[in-house]
Amino acid sequence: MKTAGIRALGIKLGIGFIAALGTGLLTGILLRVIMRVVALLIDRLPGFSFGGTMFVIFTGVVFFLANSLIFTLINNWLPKWWLPKGLLYGSINLLVYGIPLFLFNPEGALFGPQAPLAIAMFSLLFLASGATLALGANRLEVWVRHNEAKRGVYMLVSFFLFIVPAILLLGTIVVDMVRKTILSIWL
Nearest in space to 31 (alpha carbons), one of 43, 39, 20? 39
Question: Where is average pLDDT lowest: 3-12, 49-58, 117-126?
Answer: 49-58
Q: What is the pLDDT of residue 109?
A: 60
What band does 53 get if pLDDT is binned at 50, 70 and 90? confident
- Going by the DSSP 8-state scheme, the letter that residue 38 receives in this structure is H
Q: CB of 123 within 8 A of CB of 101?
A: no
**Residues of 33-49 as b/e, b for ≥16 C-beta within 10 angstroms?**
ebbbebbeebeeeeeee
Q: What is the pLDDT of residue 80?
A: 93
What band does 45 get if pLDDT is binned at 50, 70 and 90? low
Number of domains in the chain: 1
CA–CA distance, 182 with 53 (Å, rounded to integer): 26
Mean pLDDT for 61-73 is 88
Residue 24's domain comprises 3-186
Q: What is the pLDDT of residue 185?
A: 63
Q: What is the pLDDT of residue 108?
A: 64
What band does 42 get if pLDDT is binned at 50, 70 and 90? confident
CA–CA distance, 95 with 126 (Å, rounded to integer): 10
Nearest in space to 157 (alpha carbons), one of 15, 3, 2, 5? 15
Q: Is the pLDDT of residue 180 over 80?
A: no
Q: Is the pLDDT of residue 64 over 60?
A: yes
pLDDT in tens, 159-168: 888 888 888 8
What band does 93 get if pLDDT is binned at 50, 70 and 90? very high
